Structure 1
């Protein structure tokens, strides 16, 4: 039963990322490609491409992920630190909120 729930939550997260990518003019299928989806997220939040390599530094990558999600949430008008922490810890709840309830601000 637990595996079915994990599968459903994983699919929900994937569909949410797909929709977010398409909202910003990126290819939705990029959400399913490991590492490339991070590069596309960096493009969406207007970060430099070299920051991709910084995600391989232990502990610092958690801080970078927080900053990335904070900037992503800000694109939807949800720039609070709590929302970024929510995406980091519970992406299956907070990413669908962005994808299906919010419209990009700018």
Structure 2
């Protein structure tokens, strides 16, 4: 029974890695970046269009990190034309939703550009 569990676990790991790799490639990022701890979160923040300083919250602030990760996954899902609920699924059941996003037909639509600063009043 232990061998069967190990094989199923390894198959899921390979599936998630391949799905995440394809998700990164769809977003125009290097697929190998999905394999690098911490750097992969920085790339996911870029894909989500979130500020890079969120990495500090995700790494060092308990509770806030969970909230930031859920928001980040929701934003990633929206960048691929999926619902916010799909993003919550990515956060809670990543081994299912990340391969769906990577291997599915969803296309990256790009992170929304920040709003330009208002022009100063004419004098």
The structure in which a higher percent of residues are helix is: 1
Map 1:1-106; keep pairs closer than 5 Å. 1-55=4-58, 56-80=60-84, 82-101=85-104, 102-106=106-110
TM-score (structure 2 length as normaliser): 0.79
Where in structure 1 do 4 or more consecutive aligned residues deviate above 6 Å? Answer: none
8 Å CA contact 1:38, 1:52 repeated in 2: yes
Q: What is the aligned-residue RMSD (CA, Å)?
A: 1.2
Mean Cα deviation higher: 44-53 or 33-42: 44-53
Q: TM-score, normalised by structure 1?
A: 0.91
Rg comparison, structure with higher value: 2
